[in-house]
Amino acid sequence: MALTGLDIYKLLPKTNCGDCGSPTCLAFAMKLAAKQVSLDQCPHVSEEAQAEMGSASQPPIRLVTIGTGQAEIELGNETVLFRHEETFYHGTGLAVRLRENNPEAEKRLELINKLHFTRVGEDIFVNLLALEEESGDPEKYGVFAAHYGSRTHLALILISRSPACLKAALEKMGDRRPLIHAAVDDNIDEVAGLAKEYSCPLVVRGKGVEETAKLAERAKELGVEDLILDTTPDNIRDGLADQVIIRRQALNKQFRPLGYPTIAFTDPGADKMTQALEASVLIAKYSGIVVTDLLEHEYILPLLTTRQNIYTDPQKPIQVEPKLYEVGTPDRSSPLIVTTNFSLTYFTVEGEVEASRIPAYLLIVDTEGTSVLTAWAADKFNAETIARSEERRVGKECRSRWSPYH
Amino acid sequence: MESINEKWTNTINTVTIGATKENGGSRGSTVTIGGETTLPFLHFEGQIPHRPALALDVIDYNPDDWPEVLKSPYADVLGDPTAWAEKCEKEYGADLICLRLQSLHPDWGDTAPEKAAETVAAVLKATTIPLIIWGCDSPEKDNLALPLCAQAAAGENCLIGFATEDNYKTLAVACLADKHKIVAQSPIDINIAKQVNILISEMGFNPSDIIIDPNTGALGYGIEYTYSIMERIRLAGLSGDKMMAMPMICDVGADAWRAKEAKALKENFPEWGSEKVRGPLWEAMTAVLLLQSGGDLINLRHPEALNKVREQIEVLMGGGDWGV
């Protein structure tokens, strides 16, 4: 939350010495609030004031990066509770879990690596591979993590409560910058130490929101700031509540210990469709990362579509490619229907035309993603722009009495 | 920690659909929705006295264009709306039937308005759960048929749809006369949603007998617009706008099954996986997302989608532990 000029003034020495270049401390404070000057121009400001102003200038939900290079994924830095207020910025990272003792781990990894689709011209894909320790044996887990980590381009999550196992895996991760899951009450000093040593982001996992906030504070004291919160809910009802409480604490109350992205798991004991539905709720309701055991395309495609839709920027209308579409199997005598390339207009018209069961051509005109009335008012949807669109193909393929080429 | 609870000033209207014998109808059960004093499933903040209800669609003709996955649960009843409705109640456990009088439409059979009223009467006779009556979306035909249907269902306290900004008077009069609830539909537009409610109320309709249909975009096909419009309607309703405080109905089945991703066969799109799962899941996920933005009543089609959405609702309403 940004401080006002008066808030800042209270933190300054109030000596009006002029060393900063401004005539008075108040003038300097006003310039600071307007971000016209920086605090280091005041040589006399106290350390406490520096810390307070530094934290006030941070975003309410910290931006945390996992992975490097192409696999890098950014989470956090969200600013609203409802997407219509602005937008949701960093799409939920979808993670698929691979367990150490799974005899089919090889096969699963091959499937996980292929979870990549194209929808409405956008690539949508699973972002993370979660490698879960089960043996309790640092050497074994280190080999497991190194083996499967090297065979995927996805960002990685290392899941273990054992500091020794985590260390064994981290040693072999090079510069992959995996997410460490998790620091809990009885290992936080050691695991936070590892996060610091290897410069990796860290999950703090408590039971419920309050305990998780305490662990986040502790981790910060230990020098780890790239944190992700896991509240270990018992079910999706509690999971939803935790996500909402955390987001509201961070945005409405500027409560720093909860100003981090979150991670949540689908219930491995539930049937697959239920897991997929849980994941969709978590994606819609603020989860930074969702970890699931699902990897079949029929479950992952709707989840990635959910993320694509919910994280669409409502300030920028989605556009469909302006071209001549076919609905059903039209022939040269089929009607030609014309509309704009605002995606919702397209979906509505296409649906209605399809429901009519009359095969038709649908000519989508480039109106820069605006709807019919808006485009018409802005003179982007008129005889000229319509005639210009795909002129040749319409002339060649469509000879209906609706066609201008009839 | 400080409390983050919002202090909402208004309660969403409570609406009951269906009437038992004591109340002048013949239903064995009724469905009550609404009454929330908080956003969906936030039990820590307010009251959610009624769980969202789930209807199954019954079509008054044989929908031979439906995908196999959707037809197979109804293979023995397609084309027979009475038997179909009975199956939805007894075998698949719907809370309500949504009877869709599609065959009225000039493009879909252009059947007589009287026939629609007969179908309504027959379905009411064959079932004991509350009924939603859904027009064919041809304003002329709906204006002829829905008043007859309302009459045929007099006393049963049905929900009848839909009134729009341009065509609401005939249906509002019919619902007033025969004491039914009304669906007020708007094209994913918050201002029109409110406007239709005002227009209907100005005719003497009690605002608490109106259900909002914000118009559904399916997952992948504009759901984000519906989702945000619904959130805005619900926020306005909870913040004191009485003309936005109605429960919301989402016509999910019809829209979700129009999506290519719901219908397409694996043999044609191998990278999309099995359609046997993908179809019902596409429908269920659309429903679950719209429950998060304020849906109180959902029209569905596939029985598996109904089961899974209901299980989600049960956990979101009451708890139940993950076995972790």
Helix (H, G, I), strand (E, B) or coil at A75: strand
Claim to verify: residue A344 and residue A259 sit in the same structural domain: no
Note whether A249 contacts B278, CB cutoff 8 Å: no
Claim to verify: residue A117 and residue A232 sit in the same structural domain: yes
Rounded-to-integer distance, Cα A95 and Cα B99, Å:
41
pLDDT for A395 equals 66
Q: Which residues of B touch A269 (CB under 8 A)?
A: 322-324
Q: How many domains does chain A have?
A: 3
Domain boundary among A310, A332, A361: A310
Rounded-to-integer distance, Cα A15 and Cα A118, Å:
61
CATH number reported for the structural domain that contains residue A47 in this entry? 1.10.15.40
Q: Which residues of B touch A245 (CB under 8 A)?
A: 4, 44
Q: Does the interface ipTM go beyond 0.85? A: yes
Stretch (H or E) spanning B263: helix B260-263
pLDDT for B324 equals 35
**Closest by Cα among A200, A208, A216 to A255:** A216
Helix (H, G, I), strand (E, B) or coil at B160: strand
* B110 part of contact set with chain A, CB < 8 Å: no
From chain B residues 174-203, the ones with a CB under 8 A of any chain A CB are 188
Claim to verify: residue A253 and residue A388 sit in the same structural domain: no
Do the domain assignments include residue A316? Answer: no
Comparing A257-261, A286-290, A339-343, which segment has the lowest mean pLDDT?
Answer: A339-343
| Nearest Cβ partner for B281 among A83, A252, A276 | A276
| Nearest Cβ partner for A354 among B258, B311, B319 | B258
Do the domain assignments include residue A317? Answer: no
State which of A310-319, A360-369, B21-30 shows the largest mean pLDDT.
B21-30
Rounded-to-integer distance, Cα B285 and Cα A273, Å:
9
Judge contact between A42 and A19, C-beta under 8 A. yes
**Closest by Cα among B323, B318, B316, B306 to B93:** B306
Interface test with B, best of A161, A280, A373 (most B CBs within 10 A): A280
pLDDT for A95 equals 98
Alpha-carbon gap: B214 to the closest alpha carbon of chain A (Å): 14
| Nearest Cβ partner for B222 among A278, A281, A343 | A343
Claim to verify: residue A367 and residue A392 sit in the same structural domain: yes
Rounded-to-integer distance, Cα B161 and Cα A34, Å:
54
Whether B233 shows a pLDDT value over 80: the answer reads yes
Quickly list H helices, A291-370.
297-310, 343-356
pLDDT for A333 equals 83
pLDDT for A392 equals 61
Q: Give the model's confidence band at A401: pLDDT under 50 very low, under 70 low, under 90 confident, else very high.
A: low
| Residue with tokens 């749809």, as numbered in its chain | B161
| Nearest Cβ partner for B308 among A249, A252, A277 | A277
Claim to verify: residue A215 and residue A285 sit in the same structural domain: yes
Rounded-to-integer distance, Cα A240 and Cα A243, Å:
5
Interface test with B, best of A244, A309, A312 (most B CBs within 10 A): A309
Query: Domains of chain B, with CATH numbers?
Result: 15-316 (3.20.20.20)
Rounded-to-integer distance, Cα B298 and Cα B55, Å:
6
Do the domain assignments include residue A318? Answer: no
Q: How far is CA B212 from CA B169, B209, B230, B236, B249, in A?
A: 16, 10, 10, 13, 6
Q: Which residues of B touch A358 (CB under 8 A)?
A: 107
Taking each helix axis from N to C end, the angle separating B303-318 and B275-292, rounded to the nearest 10 degrees, works out to 40
Question: Of A243 and A391, which is predicted with more confidence?
Answer: A243
Q: Give the model's confidence band at B318: pLDDT under 50 very low, under 70 low, under 90 confident, else very high.
A: confident
Whether B322 shows a pLDDT value over 80: the answer reads no
Rounded-to-integer distance, Cα B277 and Cα B266, Å:
11
Pairing of strands A128-132, A179-183: unpaired
Rounded-to-integer distance, Cα B103 and Cα A37, Å:
71
Nearest CA in chain B to A209: B1
**Closest by Cα among A145, A151, A135 to A167:** A145
Q: Which residues of B touch A351 (CB under 8 A)?
A: 221, 255, 258
Note whether A309 contacts B43, CB cutoff 8 Å: no
Q: Residue A14 CB: number of other CB atoms within 10 A?
A: 12
Over the stretch A180-229, which tens digit does the pLDDT of each residue have?
A: 999 999 999 999 999 999 999 999 999 999 999 999 999 999 999 999 99
Interface test with B, best of A273, A291, A310, A344 (most B CBs within 10 A): A273
Claim to verify: residue A101 and residue A158 sit in the same structural domain: yes
Over the stretch A47-106, which tens digit does the pLDDT of each residue have?
A: 888 887 776 667 899 999 999 999 999 999 999 999 999 999 999 999 999 999 999 999
Rounded-to-integer distance, Cα A23 and Cα A17, Å:
8
* B106 part of contact set with chain A, CB < 8 Å: no
Two tokens, residue B271: 């990278």
Q: Give the model's confidence band at B37: pLDDT under 50 very low, under 70 low, under 90 confident, else very high.
A: very high
Claim to verify: residue A20 and residue A102 sit in the same structural domain: no
Query: For residue B268, how far is the Cα from the chain centroid?
Result: 32
- Bridge partners, A364 (sequence order): A339
Mean pLDDT of B156-170: 97
Domain boundary among A276, A310, A344: A310
State which of A25-34, B74-83, B264-273 shows the largest mean pLDDT.
B74-83
CATH number reported for the structural domain that contains residue A135 in this entry? 3.20.20.20
| Nearest Cβ partner for B222 among A213, A236, A347 | A347
Claim to verify: residue A394 and residue A273 sit in the same structural domain: no
* Number of alpha helices (DSSP H) and beta strands (DSSP E) in chain B: 11, 10
Query: For residue B292, how far is the Cα from the chain centroid?
Result: 15
CATH number reported for the structural domain that contains residue A350 in this entry? 3.40.50.11600
Rounded-to-integer distance, Cα B102 and Cα B104, Å:
5
Query: Which 8-state DSSP code applies to residue B320?
Result: -
Quickly list H helices, A311-360.
343-356
Whether B299 shows a pLDDT value over 90: the answer reads yes
Type of residue found at B24: G
Q: Give the model's confidence band at A37: pLDDT under 50 very low, under 70 low, under 90 confident, else very high.
A: confident
Burial B57-71 (b: 16+ CB within 10 A, else e): bbbbbbbeebbebbe
Do the domain assignments include residue A305? Answer: yes
| Nearest Cβ partner for A82 among B231, B285, B289 | B231
* Close Cβ partners of B245 (under 8 Å, ≥ 6 residues apart): B10, B11, B12, B13, B207, B237, B238
Judge contact between B218 and B282, C-beta under 8 A. yes
Q: How far is CA B24 from CA B18, B21, B28, B161, B220, in A?
A: 10, 5, 12, 22, 43
Average pLDDT in chain A: 91
Q: Which residues of B touch A265 (CB under 8 A)?
A: 324
| Nearest Cβ partner for B217 among A238, A284, A347 | A347
Rounded-to-integer distance, Cα A59 and Cα A307, Å:
23
Do the domain assignments include residue A345? Answer: yes
Whether A41 shows a pLDDT value over 90: the answer reads no
Claim to verify: residue A166 and residue A239 sit in the same structural domain: yes
Two tokens, residue B275: 């359609």
Judge contact between B173 and B152, C-beta under 8 A. no
Rounded-to-integer distance, Cα A258 and Cα A242, Å:
11
Type of residue found at A354: E
Rounded-to-integer distance, Cα B95 and Cα A33, Å:
57
Give percent of chain B with pLDDT exceeding 90: 92
Alpha-carbon gap: B31 to the closest alpha carbon of chain A (Å): 23
Two tokens, residue B103: 């065959």
* B76 part of contact set with chain A, CB < 8 Å: no
Q: Give the model's confidence band at A368: pLDDT under 50 very low, under 70 low, under 90 confident, else very high.
A: confident
Claim to verify: residue A139 and residue A265 sit in the same structural domain: yes
Do the domain assignments include residue A181? Answer: yes
Domain boundary among A310, A344, A377: A310
Note whether B219 contacts A305, CB cutoff 8 Å: yes
Measure CA of the first residue to CA of the last residue in chain A; give whole Å.
63
Nearest CA in chain A to B64: A357
* B43 part of contact set with chain A, CB < 8 Å: yes
User: Looking at A252-303, which runs of residues are DSSP E strands?
Assistant: 263-265, 289-292
Q: Which residues of B touch A308 (CB under 8 A)?
A: 220
Rounded-to-integer distance, Cα A235 and Cα A240, Å:
9
pLDDT for A393 equals 67
Q: Which residues of A touch B220 (CB under 8 A)?
A: 119, 302, 305, 308-309
**Closest by Cα among B230, B264, B203 to B40:** B230
Q: Which residues of A touch B271 (CB under 8 A)?
A: 117, 297
Whether B321 shows a pLDDT value over 60: the answer reads no
- Domain span including residue A20: 5-57
Two tokens, residue B303: 């029985």
Q: Which residues of B touch A237 (CB under 8 A)?
A: 41, 43, 315-320
Note whether A84 contacts B231, CB cutoff 8 Å: yes
Rounded-to-integer distance, Cα B182 and Cα A255, Å:
45
Give percent of chain A with pLDDT exceeding 90: 65
Whether A1 shows a pLDDT value over 60: the answer reads no
Note whether A248 contacts B4, CB cutoff 8 Å: yes
Note whether B282 contacts A255, CB cutoff 8 Å: no
Nearest CA in chain B to A241: B42
Whether A352 shows a pLDDT value over 70: the answer reads yes
From chain B residues 234-263, the ones with a CB under 8 A of any chain A CB are 235, 255, 258, 261
| Nearest Cβ partner for A298 among B39, B273, B304 | B273
Mean pLDDT of B280-302: 98
Whether B323 shows a pLDDT value over 60: the answer reads no
Nearest CA in chain B to A273: B281
Do the domain assignments include residue A315? Answer: no
Query: Which 8-state DSSP code applies to residue A2?
Result: P
Taking each helix axis from N to C end, the angle separating B190-202 and B223-238, rounded to the nearest 10 degrees, works out to 50
Complete DSSP assignment for B181-209: EEEEE-SS-HHHHHHHHHHHHHTT--GGG
pTM confidence score? 0.89
Judge contact between A306 and B256, C-beta under 8 A. no
Q: Residue A153 CB: number of other CB atoms within 10 A?
A: 10
Alpha-carbon gap: B175 to the closest alpha carbon of chain A (Å): 28
* B269 part of contact set with chain A, CB < 8 Å: no
Claim to verify: residue A263 and residue A346 sit in the same structural domain: no
Claim to verify: residue A242 and residue A177 sit in the same structural domain: yes
- Alpha carbon dihedral B122, B127, B131, B136, in 10-degree steps, equals -40
Rounded-to-integer distance, Cα A174 and Cα A56, Å:
34
Do the domain assignments include residue A319? Answer: no
* Number of A–B residue contacts, CB under 8 Å: 166
